[in-house]
Amino acid sequence: MAEIIIRNLRKEFGSFTAVQSSSFKIEDGEFFMLLGPSGCGKTTTLRMIAGLELPSSGEITIDGEDVSQKPASQRDIAFVFQMFALYPHMNVRKNLSYPLVSQGMPTAQVRAKVSEVANILGIESLLDKPVGGLSGGDRQRVALGRAIVRQPKAFMMDEPLGALDAEFREHMSLELRALHDRMKATTVYVTHDQLEAMQMGDKIVVMNHGVIEQFGKPQDVYDKPATMFVAEFIGSPSMNFMRFDGKVGTGGKAISLGHQELSVPMMREPFEGSLAFGIRPEHIKLTDKGSYRGEVKATEYLGTTQIITLKTTHGIVKARAAAGEVARVGETVGLDFDGKTVTLFDTQTGRALRSELNEGVLAHG
């Protein structure tokens, strides 16, 4: 497998810039997620790594070799698409063996490799069946098998589970991650589904408008968002923002909002201006006390938990509470916050203010 290093990668289509000066490193054997909304540049980035698009500028190295201007055929990369891209006139065995036969591999060796991959994916019973009669999940397994059988340096996956229904998609994501853990294969995976990225990835790059907003481990991206975009895009419901003009110092003291106070983390530098107080729904506790209060506007029952929507003096807030907690629409309750779970943002730039909690967060602009 291989380490992949991206340095100042840029892609322009005429006057439109799809990817702007991206830099990151994919470790050998890592499951790496490119995450973001449609049109953010994640698929273009993947295609440049794979050699299906050549960068306008920047550098791509795979296993120590500069491949920036080399075509896909010279990069030893396997690609798995959303729509399977199988040969419909061939059965499963021939689809799996085709890449090896094309390389001139001896028949006995081809047969052994196909059998090995079929065993890994649990599709031995399908080898002699036509691919046209298979379910979506089985066809995706065959597509994965055709990529695996070559034993390339790295796998590129462009939303490979996007065409599956929700239940089977979840099942296949678990299988795919388990397969990766067995093979220890360097994998770059594109998705717009933040739950899929959090569940499967070792590292995540969050992109928006061709720019890397944040790069890091899933828990760091969730707990310590570098920008307001990341805080909103990751999490369901997303992070709450309460906006105000104010001043915060470096002592970690509570900030006053009228007659109400909110605790904040220890700041690296003082700041004065337009702020957003960001907190995840699960970090808000409802209480009979507390100086900061809100009116219950709605409750959404989710089985083990419920989402409670509250109206505060600084906007609508959503809290995640236990299903058995009583919150009546129309009543006013106290909201309790732990300063260690709060992120403060500069609303002018959208970036998180530096604190003791987010000092290690990586953001690129």
- Give me the pLDDT at residue 286, please: 92
**Which positions ≥6 away from 120 have C-beta within 8 Å?**
145, 148, 179, 182, 183
Which of 99-113, 185-199, 238-252 bottoms out in mean pLDDT, i.e. has the lowest?
Answer: 238-252
Instruction: Answer whether residue 358 shows pLDDT above 50.
Output: yes
Average pLDDT of every residue of the chain: 87
Q: Which backbone phi and psi does 49 adopt, to 5 degrees?
A: -60, -40
Instruction: Please give the domain boundaries of the chain with CATH numbers for all domains.
Output: 4-223 (3.40.50.300), 238-346 (2.40.50.140)
pLDDT of residue 259: 56
- Show Cβ contacts of residue 341 under 8 Å, excluding neighbours closer than 6 positions: 279, 280, 283
Instruction: Give the chain's length.
Output: 365
Residue 363 has pLDDT above 50, yes or no: no
In this structure, which amino acid lies at residue 46? L
pLDDT digits (tens, 9 = 90+) for 24-75: 999 999 999 999 999 999 999 999 999 999 999 999 999 999 999 999 989 9
User: Could you tell me if 156 and 119 are in contact, meaning their C-beta atoms sit under 8 angstroms apart?
Assistant: no
Q: What is the DSSP string of 200-236?
A: H-SEEEEEETTEEEEEE-HHHHHHS-SBHHHHHHSSS
258-283 pLDDT, tens per residue?
556 667 777 778 888 888 989 999 99
pTM beyond cutoff 0.95: no
Give pLDDT, residue 360: 44
Reported as a pLDDT band with limits 50, 70 and 90, residue 365 is: very low
Determine which of 60-69, 151-160, 206-215, 344-353 has the lowest per-residue pLDDT on average. 151-160
